[in-house]
Amino acid sequence: MTKTFGDGMLEVEVITGRTLNQGATVEEKLTEEYFNAVNYAEINEEDFASLGLQEGDRVKVKTEFGEVVVFAKKGEVPKGVIFIPMGPYANMVTDPSTDGTGMPQFKGVKGTVEKTDENVLSVKELLEAI
């Protein structure tokens, strides 16, 4: 059901979650290691190709709730789904509404992804952007 827009933009569902590297650096948030552990999106191989991406390229992820630039990585996710490790990058685009449960919807937010030349912000720059 992945829709492709005119200039290489895909409609996707954004999911977030823990990773080993994110966990191992979570108590060192202001370091390069943490930055590298949470600043990317895993994209399905076919979607990756259709967006014309190469490893190291950057993508802009947009949802109703915000946008963020992250590095693009091929990952084992279904087509039409992208995975961003839990953390400040993912949270730029997650849905804050808890629908009365207290729990925001961290997984399964509809949005788009596209290739971009913009830079990935540092953790501090990200905070300023909020």
Partner 1 sequence: MAETVNVVCTFCGSVCDDGQFDTEKFKSKKLCKLGSSKFSEKERIKAPMVDGKEVSYEEAIEKAAEILVNAKKPLLYGWASTVNEAIRLGVILTEKVGGVYDQCASVCHAPGTLAVIEEGLPGGTLGAIKNRADVVVFWGANPMEAHPRHGMRYSISAKGLLIKDRKQRKVIVVDVRPTKTAKLADEFIQIKPGYDYPIISALRAIISGNADAVPDEVGGVSKEKLIELAETMKNAKYGAVLYGLGVTQSRGRDRNIENAVKLIQLLNRHTRWVIWPMRGHYNVVGAGEVPAWEVGYQYAIDFSRGYPRFSPAEFSAVEVLKRRDCDAALIISSDPVAHFPRAAVKHLKEIPVIQIDPFPNMTTLVANVVIPSAIAGIEAEGTAYRMDGIPLRVKKVVESKYWSDEQILERLLEKVEELKR
Partner 2 sequence: MRLIIIKPKTEFVVTVEAEITPDLAEKNVEEIKRFKVYYGKDRVELGELFEVTKEGDDKKLVLDGDFSRVKWIGCRMSDGEIVVKGNVGANCGAYMAGGKITIEGNADDWLGAEMRDGEIVVKGNAGNLIGCAYYGNATGMSGGKIVIEGNAGNYIGEKMSGGEIEIKGNAGDFIGTEMKGGTIIIHGSCGFVGGDMKAGEIKIGGEFELVPTFVMQEGTWVGDVNVKGEGIVRKL
Give the residues lining the site for partner 2 (CB under 8 A).
Answer: 97, 99-100
Q: Binding string to partner 1 for residues 6 to 45, with x set by CB under 8 A, is what?
A: -------x-xxxxxx--xxxxxxxxx--------------
Distance (Å) of CA 84 to CA 6, 7, 73, 94, 100 = 24, 23, 10, 10, 25
Closer Cβ to partner 2, 36 or 97, answer by number? 97
86 binds, among partner 1, partner 2, none (CB under 5 to 8 A by kind): partner 1
Tell which residue, 33, 16, 24, has the closest CA to residue 88: 16
Cβ nearer to partner 1, comparing 54 with 124: 124
Residue 87 partner contact from partner 1, partner 2, none using kind-dependent CB cut-offs of 5 to 8 Å: partner 1
Q: How far is the CB of 85 from partner 1 (least distance, A)?
A: 9
Count, residues near partner 1 per rule CB under 8 A: 46
Q: Toward partner 2, which CB reaches closer, 6 or 100? A: 100
Chosen from partner 1, partner 2, none, partner binding at 24 (C-beta under 5 to 8 Å by type): partner 1
What is the rounded distance in angstroms from the CA atom of residue 38 to the CA atom of residue 61? 14
